[in-house]
Amino acid sequence: MITTVLAGGDPAAIARAAEILRAGGLVAFPTETVYGLGADALSATAVAGIFAAKERPADNPLIVHVADVAAARRLTRSFPALAERAAAAMWPGPLTLVLPRGEAVPDVITAGQDTVALRVPAHPVALALLRACGRPLAAPSANRSGRPSPTRAEHVLADLDGRVALILDGGPTLHGLESSVLDLTGPRPLLLRRGAATLEQLRELLGPVDALDESDAAALRRSPGLRHRHYAPRARVLLVAEGAGEAAVERALAAGERVALVCRREVETQALLLRLPGDLAAFGRELFAGLRALDAAGIERIVVEAVPEQGIGAAIMDRLRRAAAG
């Protein structure tokens, strides 16, 4: 398969992408979070192509992207009042809602579970594509499974060249971190995955929202990005406290490793320094691209200094812990 890259703002490119999707093919497209790898969510055969292209474990559920709230309702058995409130305030946007699964949703989407994850993306290319193809789109991140999520079209091409028919290039993504995943099927809202919509924002909007207890195996199954190796570059990642980067770098250099330091401060070091912005939203936006750049530079060990776990910082730390564990 030859992968074509087209400008996402071109109506002819959107029409071509919609044609590929209606025929059961795969299209990568930008959202405000990361680039997604899309397929017709109502076609089990098309969705199976996502798992093959990404080499994704079959027990890892997918998020379904829809054009509006009405389309989301059609894929659920019920759309409770809290879902209505969340959707009215945060859709289109970086919030995924886990709801009771409707009969039209194939098993392959949900990993056989009785819930489905839905969101309306807030990117003009994604919305134009959803409207043009007239179908809900299953769309996990458009990367090889376990790798850092793609925030630029060139990241998608690096991972999936020859595995996807078309990439719509919409430039760098706004958030650079995946959507938050909020489960509304229990007695209280449960934030399964930290993301661009923060726990603080959700509590202000909805009232009490519980944070995930990672010992809850059943809850872990309802969201992508929680149980398998995720967000990891080829280089080994070491997560250290803020200010402890130089000592960790010295140990890696003494061991003969090609090492890089990722932090928010100016520091003198013999390692390759990737200084990310002090503002946490900007840090999150540039994190995955930075990890990919360090891989391209041949770095073997990446030392990353922790960030404060308030607001979007909690999502950043979730990604860094999983990358380091991988």
Q: 92 preceded by cis ω (within 30°)?
A: yes
Give pairs for 130-135: CB < 8 Å, separation 24+: 130/65, 130/66, 130/67, 131/67, 132/14, 132/15, 132/17, 132/18, 133/17, 133/18, 133/21, 133/22, 133/40, 134/18, 134/22, 135/21, 135/22, 135/40, 135/41, 135/42
d(CA 241, CA 116): 37
- 122-171 pLDDT, tens digit per residue, is 999 999 999 999 999 999 999 999 899 999 999 999 999 999 999 999 99
Q: Classify burial at 70, counting beta carbons within 10 Å of its beta carbon; exposed 0-12, middle 13-18, buried 19 or more.
A: exposed
What would the pLDDT profile of 98-121 be if each residue is shown by its tens digit?
A: 999 999 999 999 999 999 999 999
CA-wise closest residue to 291 among 279, 309, 281, 304: 304
Q: What confidence tens digit (pLDDT) does each residue in 193-212 have?
A: 999 999 999 999 999 999 98
Say if residue 315's pLDDT is above 70.
yes
Q: Whole-model pTM? A: 0.96
Tell me, what amino acid is at 238?
L
What is the Cα–Cα distance from 242 to 57, expressed in whole angstroms? Answer: 34
Rg (CA), the chain: 19
pLDDT reading at 95 higher than 90? yes
137-138/35-40 β-pairing: antiparallel
pLDDT digits (tens, 9 = 90+) for 251-281: 999 999 999 999 999 999 999 999 999 999 9
